[in-house]
Structure 1
Amino acid sequence: MASSMLLATAASPRPARAGIDPAALRALPVEGDVDGSASRLRQIESATGPRPEDGKDIAFETLPSGASYREYREGKGDAYVQRGSRVAVEMTIRCRSFSTADEPGGVTYFTTKQDTDFNELAWTVGSGELPPELEECMMGMRKGAIRRIELPSTVVFAAKKNQQLPLPSEKNRDGKRRFENLFKTDATLLFEVLVTRIK
């Protein structure tokens, strides 16, 4: 009988966890994830279904304008962002100089979910409605693609002067205050962009 119990135990071993809760481990930041962006991105993408390629550690690519971007997810389909494209995106804009423990990438001043009527921003690429450096960093994106785009202070100040920055809605008082204070310090902005439609 003892031998049969031993066989049953050997056939279905219990996982050894050494007192560690795996669920708690998933919430911890990844080594090398200094600003928490990879951890936050996992949370954002969980709603749309993460894929293996989402976890790749890809460096930001810096363009001659000084703007830089990092692609977290490649999109699908034949259509891609180019000059003249009519695009719609979900977008969050963060003030890099105002980072907090909860938002180490910078506090949010604008989101399409809170500050637009249709939960997205739509425009024609090259129309001058948004900063050309932002559009430059979006070139080649397909539907479903996700990029983080960083615009340096010099670009952001010029975009403000040309009225090319999305503004928080009247009900978003925190966003309005953050936007006003942004230009009293380093005005670097971080855009989180998800392409939802391309024509």
Structure 2
Amino acid sequence: MPKNQIVVCVLATLAITCQAFINPTSSSASASHTDSSLNLNRRSFANAGVTVAAGLIGVASPAFAGIDPTLLKSLPVQGDEAGTVQRLRQIEAIQKPATDLVDIPFEELPSGVSYREYREGKGEAVVQKGSKVAVEMTIRCKSFSTQNEPGGVKYFTTKQDTEFNELAWTIGSGEILPGLEEAMMGMHKNGLRRIEVPSTQVFPAKKADQLPLPTTKDGKRIFERLFKTDATLLFEVLVTRIK
């Protein structure tokens, strides 16, 4: 017998039993059982029935057990006859894949620079010495963190501090700090890495004018504070072009 039918039968039986016990039909029985002790027993019995019923109802499996809600995004949207919503979902899945959120350990290089590769990217072209690259980038100060930015407050982003939301240069030209370029080697187009450059390499890069500079008031203020403490930087780099 299905589980829901068993629950219904048990509830019906409990209801009939409780009714018969609490409201006996015999007049002699009702006359001889009016003391407070019997009333207490009746209440206890009724409450026990409710508890058992609640427990039986609670054993039902969750409605969405075994279903991954993220898979629902791939299903057709009712009423989306043109397929517009479905295509937007597919674009979002490409631009922000779930793998971007995987917590991958840092790989440390001999120089002390370390990085995490969140997305490998595609294509035959790879970042190497002499490559002309364009990237979207965010630079965070590891020693500064807030509730909204626990990974470090950003002082520079290509979105706010550049005209076309990208930073372009030639690898090995000396324009950008060498530690960052070292950790970018081997990246493909659309590859995404988070690169940590230690303070010992950031200070010399500042003197050599190899650090991207902020243009906003807040960014400039944070940049100046950075060099009064540990100047370790976290670069979030998305490669958009390689030549």
Q: Which TM-score applies when normalising by structure 2?
A: 0.62
Question: Greater relative contact order (Cα 8 A, min sep 6): structure 1 or 2?
Answer: 1
Two-structure CA RMSD over aligned residues (Å): 2.3
Q: Secondary structure at the match of 1:160?
A: helix
Find 2:63's aligned residue among 2, 5, 15: 15
1:189 partnered with 2:237:
no
Query: How does 1:10-89 map onto structure 2 within 5 Å?
Result: 15=63, 48-51=95-98, 53-89=99-135
* Uncovered stretches (5+) of structure 1, i.e. residues with no partner: 7-12, 24-44
Structure having the larger proportion of residues in strand: 1
Report the identity percentage.
Answer: 70
How many matched pairs? 162
* Uncovered stretches (5+) of structure 2, i.e. residues with no partner: 6-60, 71-91
User: What is the rounded CA distance, in whole Å, between the counterparts of 1:158 and 1:57 in structure 2?
Assistant: 30
Tell me which stretches of 4 or more aligned residues in structure 1 moved more than 3 Å: 53-57
Structure with the greater alpha carbon radius of gyration: 2
Label 1:55 to 1:86 Cα distance change in 2 as closer, same or farther (>3 A): same
Deviation of 1:58 after TM superposition, in Å, equals 2.3
- Corresponding position of 1:174: 218
- Corresponding position of 2:75: none
Deviation of 1:47 after TM superposition, in Å, equals 7.3
Find 2:180's aligned residue among 131, 134, 138: 134
User: What is the rounded CA distance, in whole Å, between the counterparts of 1:68 and 1:99 in structure 2?
Assistant: 20
Structure having the larger proportion of residues in helix: 2
Q: Which TM-score applies when normalising by structure 1?
A: 0.75
Q: Secondary structure at the match of 2:105?
A: coil
Label 1:177 to 1:81 Cα distance change in 2 as closer, same or farther (>3 A): same
